[in-house]
Structure 1
């Protein structure tokens, strides 16, 4: 499959040998709890993909990044979902490193260690709460001397078992009672951090998406990155950088899973040529839209316009992948479905794109307001 070959070639460029290593492990093992894929990723220079060159990273652009993620996710959607969290965190934090007034020396020092020490960063933004503002976290932090004391939980939180650093959105309450949003950089070895089972399905189980609990976890003030909110429903520079990258990268993960199914259909030549072409057209149109947005981000698209563009792309692809894979699984046939668990697994895994925040429903009104000329206010 031409587009998938290109994605895998890009993955090979940045992570030599990773695709071959993944291909040598059965899909069921790649996707299982405790599987080898996350450590494979770490050993194949995975952590530095979006890290700038001055921090010893690969400094990949958005287009290369979505191709890398599509390529590795075609072998392991679990790995793609897990490392998406590391990558979008890296994109967010290092974008702030270029602004001299946004990060403290301690924060910069920690970022300097990510590539040299092979550190994986888990992202604690999601909290598994329905009908809640995704920008208002439930984890709280109160000041105690030079530290902040964190309490609450993050679930699901991918890379929970392999993380070296937890980046967690928190609601700060200062001495005056004022509350603001911040991002805490928390070493995984900190006292008070515990991991509890949360992910109950075998689909994407290899992503280590469990609950991380924080019980009186102390974080120095110098490791707390504050946002600059004018409105708690608006994204600031910290959130925008992460949000755009997250939506692009997570969409590429499921596009990779769908591409793996399409590749099987193309190889086995099942069904009529018209129907097979319809499946591939659906997948290729999704890839083209995703890469188009990535190119726009590489060209400088930012702010509300970037967030709206990636959301439109994500929701359109969500619909396109479902339709294309439904037909693709049908064409592969019942015998193929019964003969191998891989087809059913990939078909199920790519459905999870619909579950990532923000949901289509919660984003509908904000997008309509944006399309009408107003600001984009997510809830």
Structure 2
């Protein structure tokens, strides 16, 4: 793994080299079998990783966003599927921390339980037909006494089959609906997991389906709520920044692992009629150099924004650059890994090789919400000075109404 002095903090106190080595040793098997690495989960629980982002006063390790990104980068270099699954735990904890800092309510009790008991948290925010929205839900929550009753389907949901708790959102059935975000035990009545994950890459992420059938969520487990579709909420904004940067860092770990693997193959591979190793030839050096330039620019952007967040910057000022870094990574990371594979030639294309596995894993970056179409629309509208939301809005009725009003004076 390549480290850049001045960009990333030392992660050794949080991810010991022997822990990373143990995780890496199980990554190929987890990918082959399409199951999350139980050995990796055990090693991380023993290292108190579940409490990484929980404040120290609540029994956690108190890591800020920059350190969380750095650990995700290292973890993904060892086992991408495990890292991307655990990124959802990390994002949910980050959302809880940001909520607690702004609301100072009893949500700290949930964080303390996670940190002190080593609980793993699945994030059930993705839904079929949601279109990548981060502020809505297709699940409807109806009131029943002191609880909300929810039915619906969450997929894909990383860690679904191995987590202790699930963080999910649902939308109330009101004239002015709200989105509720709650924590629920995976053993809750009406909740079950269906093993459905069989994808091209990130096969070891346990991203299965969570089914809810008249599942009751008590009020005390709802730790955040906002108007559906609202994107001016400070907690939601902070959560988007957390997710955009931690998920980018994870895929940067995938790309850096691919560069390390490619460098080894290029040092071994030869061009016989030139009597030289591929690594010694300017054409191959340039290909690796271009991939390195693209990745290093992303590394700097991701680390710099995470450091700004830790320094207390208003998340509203960081959401555009954070989404831009994530969107650029969705293009540059798969392209860089593909260029590295191509440079190594056919020896990198073997089904059991590390590079081919990393190439498959890199493709998944395109599908994390908010997805490309919504992000590009949002950034374009912000740049043009027109109203913008992260909900994909092709019809733009508000724009039609505003234009008509302007024409009528």
Same fold (TM over 0.5): yes
2:287 alignment partner in structure 1: 275
CA-CA distance at 1:215 after TM superposition: 0.8
CA-CA distance at 1:133 after TM superposition: 3.7
1:367 alignment partner in structure 2: 379
> Are the aligned partners of 2:201 and 2:364 in contact in 1 as well (CA < 8 Å)?
no
Asked if 1:10 corresponds to 2:22, the answer is no
CA-CA distance at 1:195 after TM superposition: 0.6
Asked if 1:319 corresponds to 2:331, the answer is yes
2:209 alignment partner in structure 1: 211
Cα deviation 1:203-259 (Å, max 9, x = unaligned): 212111011011111121122234233x72424123222211111111111111111
Query: What CA distance in whole angstroms lies between the structure 1 residues aligned with 2:37 and 2:5?
Result: 25
* Partner of residue 33 from structure 1, selected from 32, 35, 38: 35
Cα deviation 1:163-205 (Å, max 9, x = unaligned): 111111111236xx54211112211111111111232225212
Cα deviation 1:50-98 (Å, max 9, x = unaligned): 1111111111122222111011100111111111100011011122222
Give the 3 Å change call, closer, same or farther, for CA 131–99 of structure 1 in structure 2: closer
* Partner of residue 195 from structure 2, selected from 194, 197, 217: 197
Query: What CA distance in whole angstroms lies between the structure 1 residues aligned with 2:173 and 2:30?
Result: 44
Asked if 1:286 corresponds to 2:286, the answer is no
The alignment of Structure 1 onto Structure 2 pairs a total of residues equal to: 373
Q: How does 1:79-228 map to 2 (within 5 A)?
A: 79-100=82-103, 103=105, 105=106, 107-129=107-129, 131=131, 133-173=133-173, 178-201=176-199, 203-228=201-226
Structure 1 portions without partners, runs of 5+: none
Q: How does 1:202-351 map to 2 (within 5 A)?
A: 203-229=201-227, 232-268=229-265, 269=267, 270-271=278-279, 272-338=284-350, 340-351=352-363
Structure 1 residue runs of 4 or more that deviate by more than 6 Å after TM superposition? 4-9
Cα deviation 1:323-346 (Å, max 9, x = unaligned): 322221011120232374321110
TM-score (norm 1): 0.90
TM-score (norm 2): 0.84
> Are the aligned partners of 1:12 and 1:19 in contact in 2 as well (CA < 8 Å)?
no
Cα deviation 1:129-179 (Å, max 9, x = unaligned): 2646442101121111111111111111111011111111111236xx542
Give the 3 Å change call, closer, same or farther, for CA 305–375 of structure 1 in structure 2: farther
CA-CA distance at 1:9 after TM superposition: 8.0
Q: Which of the pair has more CA radius of gyration?
A: 2
> Are the aligned partners of 2:132 and 2:370 in contact in 1 as well (CA < 8 Å)?
no
Query: What CA distance in whole angstroms lies between the structure 1 residues aligned with 2:111 and 2:348?
Result: 47
| RMSD of aligned residue pairs (Cα, Å) | 2.4
* Partner of residue 45 from structure 1, selected from 48, 68, 71: 48
> Are the aligned partners of 1:8 and 1:19 in contact in 2 as well (CA < 8 Å)?
no
Structure 2 portions without partners, runs of 5+: 268-277, 392-409
Query: What CA distance in whole angstroms lies between the structure 2 residues aligned with 1:200 and 1:29?
Result: 12
Give the 3 Å change call, closer, same or farther, for CA 44–9 of structure 1 in structure 2: farther
| Corresponding residue SS for 1:98 | helix
